[in-house]
Amino acid sequence: MSVTPEVFLAMGREILAKQPFSVLLGAELADLSPGKVDLQLALKPEHLQQHGFAHGGLVSYLADNALTFAGGTAMQVPVVTSEFKINYVRPAVGERLVARATADAVSKTQAVCRCEVFAVKDGAEKLCALAQGTIVRLAQD
């Protein structure tokens, strides 16, 4: 069954709305297609660490969730993150964080995905982190 891009995005937003932690942080799904996602978050003072940068845990959360959305939509089954690695390449400073992830290698049981996290300040995006992860089919116990 084929769905329109608008319906697909709406389904993704419903899933995000069922994640209490994502709701608490204020995450927003800006774009979603099979194997590709744009997940964003407006930075608030409570998201920052003592030097005024977005906390690394927040950047990591955004990358993890974007990787999982990319893998899950590519595999079209319920999934979880099996593992991921993140490199922080510069402090995340700005008004908003944007995580863009893609599923690059997809099988029936797993997807290996990549993510770039950008900090947006005065409309300009600066790369602040790179992540890669393995997303796996959720076991049906």
- Interval 41-79: pLDDT, tens: 999 999 999 999 999 999 999 999 999 999 999 999 999
- Mean pLDDT, range 81-96, rounded to an integer: 98
User: CB under 8 Å to 129, separation ≥6 — which residues?
Assistant: 59, 60, 63, 86, 87, 88, 89, 92, 115, 116, 117
Return the higher-pLDDT residue of 2 and 13. 13
**Contact (CB, 8 A) for 71 and 63:** no
Cα gap 120→7, rounded to integer Å: 27
Mean pLDDT rounded to a whole number for the chain: 95
**DSSP conformational letter for 105:** E
Position 140 scores a pLDDT of 77
* Domain over 5-137 is classified CATH 3.10.129.10: yes
